Structures are given as structure tokens and as C-alpha cells.
Structure 1
Amino acid sequence: MSIYLIIGTIVWLYALTILKRAKLPAFYFIVGSGGLFFILIALSDPYWVWFFTHAVVNGVRWFGAVTGWSTTMPKYSIVSIINQTAPINMSIDYECSGIIETAAYLSLVVFFPLYNRFEKLFFSVAGMLWIYMANVIRLSVIITILHFAGANYFFVAHAMIGRLVFYALVIVLYYEIFTYSQVSQNLYHVIRRRFHRKGAE
């Protein structure tokens, strides 16, 4: 771990204690979520990036096995897309792993003032799964386009359509969790009651 990261984390924690004592919730949320995001990103390389990329590749492998439109090489984080001319190799790297979007989401949830700690844990896990599935769907859309249209449409499929699909799904998540939080809390309590009932049985 870098000495700069350690010093930065200590300064960040000290700033949070000052803001909490001063009762400045807005600044506490901004500094807290912003600082945690940078800490998570700094800690993500290389282990969490490796985990996320391999998880996404394995998710896409299922899509390829069902459709026959792609094959995967998990060891090298490569998806080979089959089309009528020649295979197109797509590398799942840092940007495609979803680690940045996941870190940003977790940072906001952890410091979101309307949820208690159990709700934050629930929505953190649910949000991570949602972002993961959104990323798998994005790559599946890219595979579908390139399988039928060919390599000439790689930029359109990857940089435009794929990203539009992914960020549309992420926006839905953000709306449900942060803007429409009352409904989200009701969902949490319904699921919690069901688990308690099953445990009692």
C-alpha cells in the first residue's frame, strides 16, 4: 500500500470527524463519498480488477455457450466473437470490468444519509449485482451486433450502443436507490420480512 494512500486516508478520516462534529451533513456526504471512491479505486488494482474482469468474462461465456456467437478465454480476459468473415477478439480490461462504476455506487450508498447500516449493506450487494448484470448485458449486445454486422461496426457497438445500454441500466439503479428511496426502503423491508418468516419456519 502506498504511503500517500495511507496519509490521504488518515486525512480523510480526520476531515470526516470534523464535519460530523460540526453537523454539516451535506459536506460530510460529499467528502465521505468522494474520498471513499478514490480509496476504493486505489485499492482495486490488481486484485479487484482481476476479479471483476474474470467475473464479467465468465458471465459472457454463458451467453456465448447458449447462442454459439462467441467463445471466451478467461485466463487472458478475451472474448472471441464469431461472424461470417473472421473472429473478432475483444479484450475485457479495466474500463470494461465495471470497477469504476461499482466503486462510485458503493461510495454513494455508504454515505447516503437516508439508509441505516443494514439497508446500506443490502443495497450495496443488490447494486453490485445489478451493475454486474448490466455489464454482462452490455457485452452481450456488443457480441450480438458484431456477430451479425462484422468488425466494421466495432466502434459503434462498443463505444456507443453498448455504453448507452449499460449507462441506461445504471441510471435506473441510481434513480431507484437515491431518488426513489422510499420505494427502495419498502422493498428492503418486504424482503427482510420474508427471510425472517422462512427462518422462523
Structure 2
Amino acid sequence: MIKYAVGLTGLIIWLFILHILKKSKLNFWHFLFGSAGAFILMLIFLQPVLTQPLARIVALLASIPGKIAGVYSAHYKYGVIFVESSAGAISLKIDFECSGIIEIIAYLSLLMFYQVYTVYERIYVGVLGVIGMVLANALRITVICLIIYFGGIDMYYIAHTFVGRFVFYGLSVMLYFYVFTKPQIIKQKVGSFSYDSDK
């Protein structure tokens, strides 16, 4: 009860400050404060609810290549993937960190206050971005499982800490570029110039 009371109070204060920043036309601070506030609020209220369903979806998607190739299996109801290699077996639990919920919340928080897009464009790009991040995360888990299957359970640390993160965050950087950086460059007003010989 206290959590929701504090959250509601924080939401009201956040909305009030956002209103002041918008009226003052302080666009940078409106974006910064809005994104940070949205991230914190979603982390408090949505993360506990969405982590387990998201883990199940990621486990289900990651299980498809493993099932086709017959190299690992998933109990996606519990968000668990079972990998058996020649050197032993290991169970991978897709938890809070591996579900990708933090990265998805961060992405949506930034997009909510990114004024380059219209409201409808933000909804459209938001949905596509979330789908892309879920697929990227499923690919990360798939890569980790394949490395463990072919390299043994001793490869778990390298697969999870380095290779898997490189795959996921590499794809995330590409997503951020096409969603945030490229549209900003395209929509900027750039002056034109010409040479005297062109006149």
C-alpha cells in the first residue's frame, strides 16, 4: 500500500514538473526529466509484473532453433532452458537480468519523450522496437546455448558474459541508431550552399 501511495505521489510531482518544463519550453530538460521519471516509474510498477511473462516469451523463441536442431530444450513455462553437452548438462534460468526488461523499459522511456516522432509514430516505432529487442534477446540466449552445447559447460561464463552481451547490445545499438540518431539527422534543418560556377 505504501509503495503505491509513494508511487502515486511521485507520479503527480513528475507530471507537475513536466508541465512546468513544457510551458517554459525547456525541451532538453523536459526530455531528460521525462525519460528518467518514466524509467523509474515503469521499473517500479511494470517490471515486477512483466519480467516473468517476458522471460517465458524469450525462452519460447530461443527454444525454436534448439528444438529444430535437437541440441537443447526449453521449459518456457518456467523460463528455463536445459542444455546437455558432451561435458555435462546445465540449466539456464532466464531471470530479471536476462529477460531484457530493463533495456525495453529504457528504450520506451526515451521514445516517449523523443519529439522527432509524432505520437502515432512513437507508438508504431515503440511496438516494433520492443519486438526487435525481444528477438535480439532470444538470439542472444540461442547463441549462449549453442556455445555451451558445442564447447561444454566451461564455456558458460564466456558465452554469457561476453559473446551473448556482444550480440544483444550490438543489435541494440543498431536499433538505437535507426530509431533515434538517423531520424534526428534527417529531420534537422541543414542549410544549402552552391559554387559560383553552378550559377
**TM-score, normalising length: structure 1:** 0.88
Over residues 15-51 of structure 1, what are the superposed CA-to-partner deviations in whole Å (9 max), with x where a residue is unaligned?
Answer: 1000011110000000011100111111124321111
CA contact (8 A) 1:176 1:184 kept: no
CA contact (8 A) 2:63 2:142 kept: no
AA aligned to 1:35 is G
1:118 is matched with which residue?
120
1:195 is matched with which residue?
none
CA distance in 2, matches of 1:11, 1:139: 39
CA distance in 2, matches of 1:184, 1:53: 36
CA contact (8 A) 1:142 1:158 kept: yes
CA contact (8 A) 2:116 2:184 kept: no
RMSD: 1.5
1:188 is matched with which residue?
none
CA 1:183–1:141 in 2, change beyond 3 Å: closer, same or farther?
farther
Unaligned ranges ≥5, structure 1? 186-201
CA distance in 1, matches of 2:179, 2:79: 31
CA distance in 2, matches of 1:73, 1:113: 41
Unaligned ranges ≥5, structure 2? 188-199
1:198 is matched with which residue?
none
Correspondence 1:92 to 2:94? yes
CA distance in 1, matches of 2:31, 2:48: 28
Give the alignment partner of residue 77 of structure 1, picking from 76, 79, 102.
79
2:13 is matched with which residue?
11
Correspondence 1:22 to 2:24? yes
Describe the SS at the equivalent of 2:74: strand
Correspondence 1:40 to 2:47? no
CA distance in 2, matches of 1:127, 1:47: 20
1:50 is matched with which residue?
52
1:196 is matched with which residue?
none
Post-superposition shift, 1:182?
Answer: 6.1
CA distance in 1, matches of 2:80, 2:185: 39
* Higher alpha-carbon Rg: 2
CA distance in 2, matches of 1:10, 1:67: 52
Post-superposition shift, 1:90?
Answer: 0.6
Q: Higher helix fraction: Structure 1 or Structure 2?
A: 1
Give percent identity, aligned residues only. Answer: 34
Over residues 90-112 of structure 1, what are the superposed CA-to-partner deviations in whole Å (9 max), with x where a residue is unaligned?
Answer: 10000000100000000111100
Describe the SS at the equivalent of 2:88: coil
Post-superposition shift, 1:85?
Answer: 2.7
CA distance in 2, matches of 1:128, 1:184: 23
What does residue range 120-139 of structure 1 map to in structure 2 within 5 Å? 120-139=122-141
CA distance in 2, matches of 1:116, 1:157: 40
The total of aligned residue pairs comes to 185
CA contact (8 A) 1:16 1:31 kept: yes
